[in-house]
């Protein structure tokens, strides 16, 4: 069954050069005097993107019930019908990839290359893999019952769970949101997605995209529901008896809370948490190839990356030369707002969360007090063109030892 083309107009705010929103002096997701609203803004400029209503618990429960009703017929669809929906979504992503990147850039402050690599290519790869391999992964699978049970037969049969939930992080608003939707739909489930309140503005566009793909293929768009809100709505979702499985992408601290909430109903949980990834460089490495790859791994998405390189361990014989070259390159990194400044003059975008700046400075200060050297950066950056943007200087900290808090 072929893909069915459809069109969806991206929000006007995603266009390069858009400047209709007011600049917020102290950007915050909290709307003053309105706990029922989420204040949205571009982290790269501090420019307001408007306000989004926070989903209430009553609205959440209604969405869960509507998703469950839609899932009853969806569970009876064939794999080929499900593939058609994914093909339709994939064709839209490929055709409108620049618009998708611009929406992600506006909501999270990243660069277009970061959005291309981390939003579009990753989503496209998952769509194509699922289209090609999903049915084989979910087919019935026989098992050897063993000698003691040789008079029996054993088989694994995969069945839809019903309504699943995904609570996803802010660093890749498109990929993190649509990724769980792909798996949920192909396995015959409905899904309710709770995106981070820090990227609530773009959620309406992603939701419309998925629902249009379902609709043009003749299926109930109520199968996919998006909710926005603060911690209270996340707790209500993870504690709901109407949820049959939970996927969470975020920090280990919040992951523990999700597991605790889910335990009330023994709801199965899948967690994707942060790491402390390191690269190891030996003295015989080809530095002309090694260093550019490490730089991409470090500055990709302003280091807000679950698999980003956070530490580099260098063999002693190459250490001094390696540090000197990294210092030169990191000093040259240009910060900016790609949709305002142009892609050619920006290497690294903004930070989604400004409330982490104090923590970053504290970790750097602790390391320096214990013998580390901060060769580049180490502080928040006031951008000359975007003073209300959320930037942190690209930072190079060397001679770090295990006793420092940053490790």
Rounded to a whole number, what is the distance in angstroms from the first to the last CA of the chain? 52
Measured over all CA atoms, what is the biggest interatomic distance in the chain, rounded to whole angstroms?
Answer: 77
The dihedral sign for the CA sequence 254, 351, 90, 99: positive
Give the tokens for residue 205. Answer: 């566009």
Q: Give the other-Cβ count within 10 Å of 313's Cβ.
A: 11
Task: Specify whether the CB–CB gap between 34 and 51 falls below 8 A.
Answer: yes
Rounded Cα distance between 229 and 196, Å, is 8
Rounded Cα distance between 301 and 309, Å, is 11
Q: Looking at 272, 310, 325, 393, which residue is catalytic?
A: 272
- Give the CA-trace dihedral at 124, 127, 128, 131, to 10 degrees: -170
Q: Looking at 91, 135, 306, 393, which residue is catalytic?
A: 306
Instruction: Specify the length of the chain in residues.
Output: 407
- Give the CA-trace dihedral at 96, 102, 104, 106, to 10 degrees: -150
Cross-strand pairs, 70: none
**173-186 and 97-108 helices, crossing angle to 10°:** 120
Rounded Cα distance between 130 and 83, Å, is 8
> For the chain, how big is the Rg over CA atoms in Å?
23
Q: Give the other-Cβ count within 10 Å of 384's Cβ.
A: 7
Give the tokens for residue 151. Answer: 């008079």
Task: Specify whether the CB–CB gap between 243 and 192 falls below 8 A.
Answer: yes
In whole angstroms, how far apart are CA 258 and each of 80, 214, 239, 271? 34, 29, 9, 9
Q: Give the other-Cβ count within 10 Å of 289's Cβ.
A: 9
- Is 197 marked active-site? no
**Cβ-Cβ contacts under 8 Å for 227 (sequence gap 6 or more):** 55, 59, 60, 63, 192, 193, 194, 195, 233, 237
- Is 325 marked active-site? no
Please list the active-site residues: 272, 306
């Amino acid at each position: 069954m072929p893909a069915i083309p459809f069109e969806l107009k991206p929000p006007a705010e995603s266009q390069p050069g858009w400047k209709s929103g007011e600049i917020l002096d102290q950007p915050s997701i909290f709307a003053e005097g309105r706990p029922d609203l989420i204040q949205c803004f571009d982290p790269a400029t501090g420019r307001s993107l408007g306000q989004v209503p926070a989903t209430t618990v009553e609205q959440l429960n209604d969405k869960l019930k509507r998703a469950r009703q839609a899932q009853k017929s969806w569970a009876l669809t064939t794999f080929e019908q499900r593939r058609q929906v994914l093909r339709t979504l994939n064709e839209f992503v490929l055709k409108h990839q620049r618009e998708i990147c611009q929406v992600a850039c506006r909501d999270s402050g990243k660069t277009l290359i970061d959005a291309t690599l981390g939003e579009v290519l990753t989503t496209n790869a998952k769509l194509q893999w699922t289209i090609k391999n999903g049915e084989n992964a979910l087919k019935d699978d026989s098992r050897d019952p063993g000698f003691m049970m040789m008079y029996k037969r054993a088989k694994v049969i995969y069945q839809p769970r019903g309504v699943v939930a995904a609570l996803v992080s802010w660093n890749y608003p498109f990929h993190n949101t649509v990724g769980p939707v792909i798996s949920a739909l192909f396995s015959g489930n409905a899904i309710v997605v709770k995106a981070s309140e820090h990227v609530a503005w773009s959620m309406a566009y992603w939701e419309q995209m998925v629902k249009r793909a379902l609709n043009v293929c003749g299926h109930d768009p109520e199968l996919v529901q998006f909710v926005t809100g603060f911690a209270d709505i996340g707790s209500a979702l993870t504690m709901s008896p109407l949820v049959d499985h939970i996927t969470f992408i975020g920090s280990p601290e919040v992951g523990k809370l999700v597991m605790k909430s889910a335990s009330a109903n023994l709801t199965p949980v899948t967690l994707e948490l942060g790491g402390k990834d390191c690269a190891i460089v030996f003295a015989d490495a080809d530095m002309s190839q090694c260093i550019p790859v490490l730089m991409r791994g470090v500055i990709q998405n302003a280091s807000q990356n679950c698999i980003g390189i956070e530490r580099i361990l260098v063999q002693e014989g190459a250490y001094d030369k390696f540090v000197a070259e990294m210092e030169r390159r990191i000093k040259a990194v240009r910060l900016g707002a790609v949709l305002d400044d142009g892609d050619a003059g920006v290497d690294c975008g903004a930070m989604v969360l400004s409330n982490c700046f104090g923590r970053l400075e504290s970790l750097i200060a602790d390391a320096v007090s214990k013998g580390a050297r901060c060769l580049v950066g180490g502080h928040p950056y006031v951008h000359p063109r975007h003073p209300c943007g959320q930037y942190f200087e690209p930072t190079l900290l060397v001679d770090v030892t295990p006793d420092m808090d940053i490790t």
